[in-house]
Amino acid sequence: MKPLVVAVVGAGPSGIYAAEALTAQSEIPVQVAVIDKLPVPFGLVRYGVAPDHPSIRSIRNTLERTLERDDVSFFGNVAIGRDLTVEELRSVTDAVIYAYGAASDRRLDVPGEDLAGSIAAPDLVAWYCGNPDVHPETSGPSTGSAPDGDGHNPVEELITHTRQAVVVGAGNVALDVVRVLIKNVDELEDTDMADEVLQVLGVKSITDVHLLARRGPAYTSFTTKELRELAKIDEVDLILEPADFDLDEPSRARVDKDKIAARNVAAMQDWLERPVTGAARRIHLHFWTRPTKIIGTDRVEGVGIERTRLDDTGRVIAARALEPIPAQLVVRSVGYRGIALEGIPYDAELGRVPHAGGHVIRSDGFSPDEYVTGWIKRGPTGVIGTNKSDAVETVHSLLNDVEDEALVAEHDIAELAALLAERGITPLDLPAWRRINAAEIARGQGHGRDRTTIAHHSELLAAADDPA
């Protein structure tokens, strides 16, 4: 039986789990091409999960085993929409699974949001994880909010000039950002952070990080383990407002029925009992507080804030104005968001690709050969493992379509390679990733660490080419 050629767009967890689900069954032979615009696989497992969480980052070892299979091929450094259009990809494969994640962010929609110094968590996270898209080939001072054409890195300039930072959001990504901003560099030196990231973090002088949560302590989406890590950071005081823990009736009801909320509130109540030591660095947790404006003329100088409360319908509304917080850096961490890729149907309101059970829906009904999985299918929710069941659902829909003969094997995997070759594009395959991996391990061991991330495109490509 001729194998079905399936292209998976995105080598993050959802794309690789889709490849795993496709190849774990033996009834329908498949050949899977996992394509990523970056030179390396693993998506946010490499470029999102916090570097000081090595055990979660090591999930990539499990993901890599799927890429090692004979019926799976990795095509790195190939961007759909740039190197090949969606139509071209569909023309050389039998089915396509979109797994390209949700790389954009939600905005605060307050005045001053575009001032220099106001950035989105995805940009800061990409920087400290060493994503080559935000690490231009040469660095130097600049003022914008994304790498500029001269190779300057604005995030580096911001970090080195910040004393007080505000992080808006009450989820785990906000906690990651708070930790990285407040930790002393010696607490990050055993991570796989790129050398230049560590260098910048080594000269930062951030004394205060303020986290703003528009609801109360019973409403956070932190996982308790991550929340508790804040109390383990060396020489940092945690500043909370005791009145925030006089829980109102809805908060008490929440704590009664939600174990995570109860654990989070209990963890923070414990901190209220800890003496403030007068440490040189502080994390301030502001509940029932939201930003009203970012203050500054050319760049961020502070954040206007207000106290909030819930109205009768449970909506967050303003209660009263509060004193602004002086700050040179504002990081909005209020959610990731999917983006439209040309040629792929997209629901702009939800930031997702429309589908039923993972089968993509176009304006005239189900697409004959398109499927979707991961964050671009369901939005930025859940843990890494959630992408596995999500991918299984999508692959189930696809295999059902093969059984119903709605999807038929007509192509050969060599057609994709030939089309790329015709364009002069040389994809990076799994052996290339292994060479990059070896180079990162060697670089790390030179500094007494397990590995050091290579943050520049040119260096990744050079390592991929290096037979040593």
According to DSSP, the β-strands at 104-105 and 336-337 are antiparallel
Interaction of residue 268 with ligand FAD, rule CB under 6 A: no
171 binds ligand FAD (CB under 6 A): no
Minimum separation from the CB atom of position 99 to ligand FAD (A): 5
Binding ligand FAD by CB under 6 A: which of 28, 53, 110, 462?
53
Selected from 48, 169, 335, 338, the binder of ligand FAD by CB under 6 A is: 48
Q: Round to whole Å and give the CA distance between 65 and 82.
A: 28
Q: Residue 13 or 291: which CB sits closer to ligand FAD?
A: 13
Residues in 350-389 at the binding interface with ligand FAD, rule: CB under 6 A: 374-375, 382-384, 387
CA distance readout (Å), 342 to 46, 85, 268, 396: 26, 8, 46, 26
Within its chain, how far is the Cα of 79 from the centroid? 18
Q: Does 430 bind ligand FAD (CB under 6 A)?
A: no
Tokens of 38: 């970056």
Both structure tokens of 113: 């949001």
Number of residues located near ligand FAD, criterion CB under 6 A: 35
Which residues make Cβ contacts (< 8 Å) with residue 85, sequence separation at least 6?
A: 342, 343
**Nearest of 10, 69, 20 to residue 43 by alpha carbon:** 10
Interacting span for ligand FAD (CB under 6 A) from 29-37, 148-156, 276-284, 397-405: 29-37
Q: Which of residues 74-133 bind ligand FAD (CB under 6 A)?
A: 79-81, 99-101, 125
Q: Was 419 annotated as part of a binding site?
A: no
Smallest separation, CB 95 to ligand FAD (Å): 16
Q: Which of 173, 178, 181, 305 binds ligand FAD (CB under 6 A)?
A: 173
Binding mask 385-404 for ligand FAD (x = CB under 6 A): --x-----------------
80 among the known binding-site residues? yes
Secondary structure in 3-state letters for 41-99: CCHHHHHCCCCCCHHHHCHHHHHHHHHCCCCEEEEECCCECCCECHHHHHHHCCEEEEC
Alpha carbons 252 and 257: distance in angstroms, whole number = 9
Of 6, 10, 136, 153, the one binding ligand FAD (CB under 6 A) is 10
Q: How far is the CB of 382 from ligand FAD (least distance, A)?
A: 6
Please give the C-alpha separations between residue 1 and each of 201, 291, 408, in angstroms, as whole numbers.
Answer: 56, 60, 11
176 is a site residue for ligand FAD (CB under 6 A): yes
Has 383 been labeled as part of a binding site? yes
Q: How far, rounded to the nearest angstrom, does the alpha carbon of residue 144 sit from its chain's CA centroid?
A: 21
Contact 290, 212 (CB under 8 A): yes
Instruction: For residues 265 and 393, give the distance between their C-alpha atoms in angstroms, rounded to a whole number.
Output: 35
**Was 201 annotated as part of a binding site?**
no
Residue 142 or 387 having the CB closest to ligand FAD = 387
296 is a contact residue toward ligand FAD (CB under 6 A): no
Cβ pair 227, 267 in contact under 8 A: yes
Tell me how long the chain is: 468
- Which stretches of the chain bind ligand FAD, using CB under 6 A? 9-15, 35-38, 43-45, 48-49, 53, 56, 79-81, 99-101, 125, 173, 176, 336, 341, 374-375, 382-384, 387
Residue set of the binding site for NADP(+): 214-215, 226, 382
Binding-site residues = 14, 44, 80, 214-215, 226, 375, 382-384
